[in-house]
Amino acid sequence: MTTNATSIKAEKENKQNDLIVVRMEHLNKSFGNNHVLQDINLVMNKGENLVILGKSGTGKSVLIKSIVGLVEIDEGKLFILGQNISQLNDNELIEIRKKIGFLFQSAALYDSMTVRENLEFPLRRQLHTIPKDEMNSLVKEALLNVGLAETIDLWPSELSGGMRKRLGLARTLILKPEIMLYDEPTTGLDPITSKEISHLILEVQKKYNTSSIIITHDIACAKLIANRIIVLKDGICAAEGSYGDLKDSADAWTRSFFE
Amino acid sequence: MENTILENSPNEHLEAETIPESFSEPISDSVFNKFFLEVASLTSFTWRFFKEVFKPPYEFNELMKQSFLIGYKSLPLIGITGFIIGLVLTIQSRPTLAKFGAESWLPAMVAVSIIREIGPVITALIFAGKVGSGIGAELASMNVTEQIDAMQVSCTNPFKYLVVTRVLSATIMLPILIIFSDAIGLLGSFVGVNLKGNVSTYLFFSQIFQSLEFGDLAPAFIKTIFFGFAIGLIGSFKGYNSYKGTEGVGKAANSAVVFASLMVFIIDMIAVQITSLFQN
């Protein structure tokens, strides 16, 4: 009976672990004397939209950059899709990165490439032997998904801020990642375009069943897309909960974000 | 007693810029620290280049693209300046040679000057101004706009894709451009000679080829390879490790030109010393 109960418990734990796509345990990161992240513990579940709020300079971008290895953590453990990334070699890290999409704050489009070339770049780099026809159809589909089909031969400099963000999203989604990381996706955009981008993030979640971490200062965007919100304060997780919970939080500082 | 600003660059290499907290601290300490940090950083950057250049996968398409942009697109500028150098050198030298009744030596003198020294050095300086600053500004702006990070996230080694290809292209293309510039310079000299005289093409060029030896051509060609390497490497180093922000782009472009031009003179000085050792 005991063995049976243990195995059921282990199976339950395994199932729970399968549902966790990102897990951070006691994560620390400093730049000199500036402790950007302090003892961060965080879990993101499969298919979840996790929004991270916080004042500028509280380590939000560092947090998501550590997930793709752009920033190396000082202490703690970081598990992505069940793998401890500090124990992975370069090739294994590349394999993990293939499953993660990252939308940069500035969209980070390659200025020296056209819209088509921007979208072809990740395909060429990751699916080395992809036939030309297949690549063309993937590029067209990605542009159609973000409503930019007509811009295929334009240069990034010819696009508006909102279009650049959407194109950045298309470039990220072209490889159909399991995890999406958004670094302030609506910053610098007008309210209407911000809303469009927020809806696009929701569509992406539904269509591709992605799990997303979204860093934003845009409360309207957070309200629309968040399944759960974490508030960072001076590199520490200060509050966690749903939009409704945090809006009515007993803590005045947390509440001030939503006013 | 220093404030240390640490900034994360694309290769996750932390750079420290030391700033004196007050004027009571000797400025020379800070300058020395900065200089040695820069030298150490450049050395590790060069070491990384040699490690990456032989490691597959090779970015052959990007190398070809950069060679086209760096080499072919520089042809008009290099051609025009080469022609002017040949023309002006001939016009300026004529009166001095005429004083000694050595006007007939004009083609030979101009040819040796252009091929051994003036052609390579001036072309390299122009190349540093155009290509070195271009690489510095391009990589710095890619750094500012997170394009280098985006490349890394796309499972691309940005150092190999951006730096190795640009340094190799500069190393390959500058010697070719200098041969082109020397040839155009000699054509300019031919025009200069014929402004106040009547020398046939055959006579002019046969005088030039008679005056040139292997000892003039080989060292001049070899040093241009080092010029190209230094310009590509310094432009890439300054751009790739630039500080974030638009100010960093301007600084990277500017310091790439200054540092690369200085390196051209230093390499030239070393090359002349080595050549004279063999010639003596």
Q: Give A102's contacts in chain B (Cβ within 8 Å).
A: 150, 153
Among A34, A104, A122, beta carbon nearest to B146? A104
pLDDT at residue B4, rounded to an integer: 35
pLDDT of B3 over the 50 cut? no
- Give the model confidence (pLDDT) of B187-235 as tens digits: 999 999 998 878 888 998 998 888 888 888 888 999 999 999 999 999 9
Residue B39 maps to a domain: no
Lowest-pLDDT range, A215-219, B15-19, B200-204? Answer: B15-19
- Residues B256 and B135 sit within 8 Å (Cβ to Cβ): yes
pLDDT at residue B196, rounded to an integer: 81
Count of Cβ atoms closer than 10 Å to residue A147 Cβ:
13
Alpha-carbon torsion, ordered B227, B230, B233, B234, to 10 deg: -120
Chain B: residue whose CA lies nearest to A95 = B155
pLDDT at residue A251, rounded to an integer: 83
What's the domain range around B210? 59-279
What ipTM goes with this model?
0.84
How many angstroms away from the CA of B260 is the closest CA of chain A?
24
pLDDT of B2 over the 60 cut? no
Q: Give A108's contacts in chain B (Cβ within 8 Å).
A: 145-147, 149-150
Structural domains in chain A, sorted by start? 48-69+89-256 (3.40.50.300)
pLDDT at residue B28, rounded to an integer: 59
How many angstroms away from the CA of B105 is the closest CA of chain A?
50
A217 phi, psi to nearest 5 deg: -110, 0
Q: Do B153 and A105 touch (CB under 8 A)?
A: no
DSSP letter, residue A75: E
Residue B20 maps to a domain: no
Residue B83 maps to a domain: yes
- Give the model confidence (pLDDT) of B51-84 as tens digits: 999 988 888 999 999 999 999 999 999 999 999 9
pLDDT of B27 over the 60 cut? no
Give the H or E element holding residue B172. helix B165-195
- Give the model confidence (pLDDT) of B140-197 as tens digits: 999 999 999 999 888 888 999 999 999 999 999 999 999 999 999 999 999 999 988 7
* Count of structural domains within chain B: 1
pLDDT at residue B50, rounded to an integer: 95
A200 versus A4: which is more confidently predicted?
A: A200
Q: Do B150 and A97 touch (CB under 8 A)?
A: no
List the single best residue of B60, B135, B147, B151 to mutate versus A (max A Cβ within 10 A): B147
Q: Do A106 and B149 touch (CB under 8 A)?
A: no
Average pLDDT over residues B100-110: 87
Q: Give A69's contacts in chain B (Cβ within 8 Å).
A: 152
Q: Do B153 and A97 touch (CB under 8 A)?
A: yes
- Give the model confidence (pLDDT) of A103-145 as tens digits: 998 889 999 999 999 999 998 888 777 888 889 999 999 898 8
Residue B98 maps to a domain: yes
- Give the model confidence (pLDDT) of A181-205 as tens digits: 999 888 878 888 888 888 888 888 8
Count of Cβ atoms closer than 10 Å to residue B243 Cβ:
17
Residue B158 maps to a domain: yes
Q: Do A122 and B6 touch (CB under 8 A)?
A: no
Chain B: residue whose CA lies nearest to A94 = B155
B165 versus A256: which is more confidently predicted?
A: B165
How many angstroms away from the CA of A104 is the closest CA of chain B?
7
Share of chain B above pLDDT 70, in %: 89
Count of Cβ atoms closer than 10 Å to residue A216 Cβ:
25
Q: For CA atoms A119, A124, A129, A132, give the dihedral sign.
A: positive
Find the distance separating the first CA and the last CA of chain A, reported in whole Å: 54
A57 versus B67: which is more confidently predicted?
A: B67
Give the H or E element holding residue A37. strand A34-45
Q: Which residues of A touch B (CB under 8 A)?
A: 31-34, 65, 68-72, 94, 97-98, 100, 102, 104-106, 108-112, 121-122, 125-126
Residue B16 maps to a domain: no
B182 versus A256: which is more confidently predicted?
A: B182
Residue B79 maps to a domain: yes
Residue B4 maps to a domain: no
